[in-house]
Amino acid sequence: MKNCLILGSGRSGTSMLGGILHQAGYFMGDKLYLPRESNPRGFFEWKEINGINEDILSFYGGGFTDAIKKKVFKKHTVKSPGKNQRWLLSLPPHVPVTYCDTNLEERIKTVIQREPFCYKDPRFGYTLPVWRRFLGPGTVFICMFRDPGVTVESILKECKSRDYLADLSIDAKSAYSVWRNMYSRILSYGDSAHARDCFFFVHYNQVYDGTALPALSNVLGVELNHDFVDKALNRTVARDSRPVPADVRKIYDRLCAAADYTRIDGWGSGNG
């Protein structure tokens, strides 16, 4: 079994994939977050992984401490989110994420000793360059994505329902910027010649219907079982009438091409 990380925006089906890999025997962390209404089968995320990535990203996004942002600006934004909100950071691709002090280095080295591991966190879309300094050459990076309109609608719904996101100012435009900046980075990671063999791009629908699992099983060296997927929980819904930005559509097309996925329902269906 090859070690792996799951990348991709929050609310893109990464928990569904995480559940499949957890069922296959991967270590995903101690005391994983408990299920709740938005993820009734679990999140398959470990607080320590989130915490490491939060601490890395605390050095990016406006240059203000959380206390100052709260006092001066009243509301956090996707350009300068508060603590535990950084899975919704919108950081332009030209800003490199490189910060890693001695403490963070030791924490990363500790968690990657628990092999075979599969760690999941949307923040990896930004922090992967830091982690790659310490990961073995056989580590696989799985990029999970889905229709950006569906993802944005789900993000906005989550932000309205969770107390820790109540002071984050976010709308559809800023949520699209999160999606755009995160996946632009992930695509750039996988574009380099030396990295292509370790990146696996997969659409939500390809996991949901199981068509991607044989190829992913081969890449990881472990049998993956589709029975974790509960089709009664499919929450893919049609988007509202707001147009998807043209540059976001282009990025989505690139992701679909990388995953060898053809949209069969048309852009407006909301089904990817």
pLDDT higher than 50, residue 59: yes
d(CA 136, CA 209): 31
pLDDT higher than 90, residue 179: yes
- The full set of domains in the chain, from first to last, is 4-231+240-269 (3.40.50)
Per-residue pLDDT band at 197 (split at 50, 70, 90): confident
DSSP state of 269: G
d(CA 72, CA 128): 31
Of 2-6, 38-42, 80-84, 179-183, where does mean pLDDT reach its minimum?
38-42
pLDDT higher than 50, residue 271: no
Average pLDDT of the residues in 137-156: 95
Per-residue pLDDT band at 147 (split at 50, 70, 90): very high
Task: Give the tens place of pLDDT for each residue, 228-248.
Answer: 887 766 655 545 556 899 999
Average pLDDT of the residues in 82-93: 94
DSSP per-residue letters across 89-154: ----TTS------HHHHHHHHHHTTSSSBEEE-TTHHHHHHHHTTTS-TT-EEEEEE--HHHHHHH
pLDDT given at position 166:
92
Interhelix angle 148-161/172-191, rounded to 10 degrees, is 130
DSSP per-residue letters across 196-232: GGGEEEEEHHHHHSSTTHHHHHHHHTS---GGG--GG
pLDDT higher than 80, residue 132: yes
Average pLDDT of the residues in 112-136: 97
pLDDT higher than 60, residue 217: yes
Average pLDDT of the residues in 110-135: 97
